[in-house]
Each structure stands twice: as structure tokens, then as C-alpha cells.
């Protein structure tokens, strides 16, 4: 099933080995799992036509993620907003995502306390959900080094979270004391 230069075979092999990671990336872009699969398939179709133009195949993941982002943006712009008039407004509240943004900001801030190598291991293992072996290969280290680095990094993150929690409680306690004294 190979065409000129083995283009089909190379692309099929790439998709077969990277499809789970690419689907996880698509799931981060769109909340619905079916839409994520559609997004990935659309990106793969668009990438297939340009596969030979990707000189450095190690950048194929980045290329495909960019295609997924652009495709999702196109879909978002093309959507039709359908409003349905009603006599009464619904009582349902809308989650504004403030907590998610705060959690993400905290996570990004706390990751900053890690050394670059530790941060890379944590991101690849837990954010990209790579296996220990995949992480070791991506970072050029042994699996044992990945495991020990991850263990130390997670311990450091736990410690930092505890310290911040203690600081927040002390700050809150101080504010209550000031309010009580002022009253």
C-alpha cells in the first residue's frame, strides 16, 4: 500500500504509533470526545496531503497540533449560534470557569519551583500522559532516572502546595484577628 517514496506507509506508521497522544491533545482542545475524534481525523486528512513537506518528522506532532488548533478555530468561527426565544429565563447557573483558571494559574506557578529537568518529566508523564519509557526516550535518559526524577518532583510539588496552604491559612487567621480587634 505504498505510493511514491513510501509516503502512505510512513504516514500510517506515524499515525499508528502516535494516535493516542494526538487524541489526548484533541481532547484538550474540544470537550466532547466525538468532536475530538472528528478534529483529529480532519487534522490527519489535512496533514496527509503535506506529509512529504514535513522535512523533520520529529516535528510532526507539533505540526499536527497546530493543524488541530487551526481547525478548531475554523469550526468555532463557522458555528451558528441558535437562540431560542422563551417567555421565562432558565434558572440554571453558568460556570464561568474562574476556578479552572485559578487552578491552572496555581499549577503553572507551582511548576516554576521545579528544576527544568523535573518540570519536563512531570509535564511529559502527567500532562502529555506519556509512559515512563516514552518520557525517557523523549528526554534522552534512562527509565530509572525518569522514575526518580518524577518521584522527587512530585514530592517537591506536594511540599510547595502544603507551604502555600499554610501561608494562606495564616494570612486568613491574621485577617480575622484584625477584624475582631477592630470590632
Catalogue all structural domains in the chain, each as residue range(s) with its CATH number.
9-79 (1.10.1740), 112-180 (1.10.10.10)
CA angle 88, 78, 34 (to 5 degrees): 85
Tell me the per-residue pLDDT of 24-65, one tens digit each, with 9 for 90 and over.
989 988 888 999 999 999 999 999 988 888 888 888 888 999
Overall pTM surpassing 0.85 (yes/no): no
Rank 85-89, 91-95, 137-141 by mean pLDDT and report only the highest.
137-141
Tell me the per-residue pLDDT of 101-143, one tens digit each, with 9 for 90 and over.
877 788 888 888 999 899 899 988 988 888 999 899 989 999 9
Amino acid at each position: 500500500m505504498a505510493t511514491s517514496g513510501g509516503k502512505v506507509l510512513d504516514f500510517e506508521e506515524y499515525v499508528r504509533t502516535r494516535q493516542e497522544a494526538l487524541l489526548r491533545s484533541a481532547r484538550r482542545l474540544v470537550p466532547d470526545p466525538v468532536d475530538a475524534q472528528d478534529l483529529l481525523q480532519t487534522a490527519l486528512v489535512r496533514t496527509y496531503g503535506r506529509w512529504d513537506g514535513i522535512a523533520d518528522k520529529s516535528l510532526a506532532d507539533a505540526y499536527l497540533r497546530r493543524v488541530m488548533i487551526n481547525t478548531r478555530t475554523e469550526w468555532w468561527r463557522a458555528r451558528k449560534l441558535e437562540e431560542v426565544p422563551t417567555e421565562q429565563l432558565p434558572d440554571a447557573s453558568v460556570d464561568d470557569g474562574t476556578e479552572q483558571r485559578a487552578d491552572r494559574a496555581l499549577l503553572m506557578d507551582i511548576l516554576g519551583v521545579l528544576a527544568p529537568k523535573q518540570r519536563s518529566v512531570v509535564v511529559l508523564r502527567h500532562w502529555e500522559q506519556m509512559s515512563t519509557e516514552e518520557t525517557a526516550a523523549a528526554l534522552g535518559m534512562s527509565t530509572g532516572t525518569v522514575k526518580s526524577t518524577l518521584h522527587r518532583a512530585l514530592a517537591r510539588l506536594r511540599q510547595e502546595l502544603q507551604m502555600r496552604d499554610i501561608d494562606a491559612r495564616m494570612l486568613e487567621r491574621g485577617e480575622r484577628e484584625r477584624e475582631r480587634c477592630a470590632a
